[in-house]
Amino acid sequence: MGELSHVAADGSVQMVDISGKTASQRVAKAAGCLLIAEEHRLALDSLPKGDALTIAQIAGIQGGKKCSDLIPLCHQVPLSHLDVAIQLTEQGIIIVATAKTESTTGVEMEAYTAVVVAGITLIDMLKGVSPDLILTDVRLLEKTGGKSDWLRS
């Protein structure tokens, strides 16, 4: 696996120094699924807190923008775009976040954070119907830019 970039030679933690890296366009896409019951599906149109899917989309965008405030040692990344798509399917509610930047470091953590914040916002809005909700399969789908591109196969 090689050296861990967040561990200094003396074993202490460190924020990775990206000052010598070249800026490039970087994109990351992450996804997750909120497993819901039929009672949740039926309640989506009449929740007292409002339109859950739209509110979760906004929350995901806000969460992705706050990533460096939430994750220790994570760089502040100037996002050029952050899209959160939420779709109700037979499997549950699918959340896909795509983060973009022109920077010296990637935006994988921003995409992950957007997915998770959108998911837990949906949990908050649906838990009154039933707390039986599962946020699952949070994963990176792809990333481009930087040292190498990566695509989940």
Whose CA is closest to 135, among 81, 94, 90, 102?
94
Tokens of 121: 């916002």
Chain centroid to CA 135: 12
Distance CA 74, CA 45 (A): 37
Q: Which residue has the tokens 């952050």?
A: 82
- Check 124, 132, 137, 149 and give the catalytic one: 124
Residues 6+ apart with CB under 8 A from 79: 64, 65, 99, 100, 101, 107, 110
Secondary-structure breakdown of the chain: helix, strand, coil percentages, each rounded to the nearest 5? 30, 30, 40
DSSP state of 105: S
Active site residue 124: yes
Task: Name the residues annotated as catalytic.
Answer: 124
